[in-house]
Amino acid sequence: MNRIFLLGDSTCADKSEDKRPETGWGMVLQRLVKKPWQVVNLAENGRSTKSFLEEGLFDRCLGQLSEGDWVFIQFGHNDSKDDEQRHTDPWTTYQGNLILMTDTVLEREAHPVLLTPICRRRFDEQGNLVQTHGDYPKAMISLAKSRNYPVLDMTEKTYQLLAYLGPKESKKLFLHLEKQEHPNYPDGAADDTHLNEWGANVVANLTLAQLRDLYSQVPFL
Q: What pLDDT is attached to residue 88? A: 98
- CA–CA separation, 217 vs 215, rounded Å? 5
Percent of the chain with pLDDT over 90: 99
Distance CA 152, CA 115 (A): 5
pLDDT in tens, 14-24: 999 999 999 99
**Positions marked catalytic:** 10, 181, 194
User: Does some domain include residue 220?
Assistant: no
Confidence of residue 6 (pLDDT cuts 50, 70, 90): very high
In-domain check, residue 54: yes
Handedness of CA 96, 101, 106, 108 (dihedral sign): positive
- pLDDT tier, 86 (very low <50, low <70, confident <90, very high otherwise): very high
> Over the stretch 165-177, which tens digit does the pLDDT of each residue have?
999 999 999 999 9
Give pLDDT, residue 99: 98
Q: Is residue 221 part of a domain?
A: no
Q: How many domains does the chain have?
A: 1
Domain that includes residue 209, residue range: 3-214
- pLDDT tens digits, residue range 98-128? 999 999 999 999 999 999 999 999 999 999 9
Mean pLDDT of 40-46: 98
* pLDDT value for 126: 95
Question: Roughly how many angstroms between the first and final C-alpha of the chain, as a whole number?
Answer: 15
pLDDT, tens digit (0-9, with 9 covering 90-100), for 23-33: 999 999 999 99
Query: Residue 114: what pLDDT?
Result: 98
Question: 219 in a domain, yes or no?
Answer: no
In a domain, 71, yes or no: yes
Instruction: Report the 10 Å Cβ neighbour count for 182.
Output: 16
Regarding pTM above 0.85, the answer is yes
- The answer to the question of residue 84 being in a domain is yes
Mean pLDDT, residues 146-174: 98
Non-local (6+) Cβ contacts of 221 within 8 A are 33, 34, 208, 211, 212
pLDDT of residue 145: 98
Rounded CA-CA distance 176/172 in Å is: 7
What's residue 1's pLDDT? 80
Reading phi first (left if > 0) and then psi (alpha if -120 to 50, else beta), residue 109 is in left
CATH at 186? 3.40.50.1110
> What pLDDT score was predicted for residue 157?
98
164 within domain boundaries? yes
Q: Is residue 122 a part of any domain in this protein?
A: yes
